[in-house]
């Protein structure tokens, strides 16, 4: 499976099937600090990913107006 990361922008591949939690652990990322997106859909942490899946991992950004 292919993982597209932002900040810094890079691409990593892992053999599937594998869980989101396992992928994030291998990347040393905390589930609470990132969004995992497959296509146009947010993916829950307990989801299993197939060998041919492509996901994007984006950092969570918070903010608002003052």
pLDDT attached to residue 12: 94
**pTM, full prediction:** 0.82
Each residue's pLDDT tens digit, 21-64:
999 999 999 988 999 999 999 999 889 999 999 999 999 887 66
CA distance 28 to 50: 20
What domains does the chain contain, in order, with CATH numbers? Answer: 2-59 (3.10.20.30)
DSSP per-residue letters across 10-65: EEEE--SSEEHHHHHHHTT--GGGEEEEETTEE--TT-EE-TT-EEEEEE------
pLDDT digits (tens, 9 = 90+) for 10-24: 999 999 899 999 999
The pairing of strands 34-38 and 41-42 is: antiparallel
């Amino acid at each position: 499976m292919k993982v597209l990361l932002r900040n810094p922008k890079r691409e990593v591949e892992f053999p599937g099937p594998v869980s989101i939690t396992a992928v994030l652990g291998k990347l040393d990322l905390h589930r609470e600090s990132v969004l995992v997106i497959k296509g146009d859909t947010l993916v829950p942490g307990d989801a299993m990913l197939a060998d041919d899946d492509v996901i994007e991992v984006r950092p969570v950004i918070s903010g608002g107006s003052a």
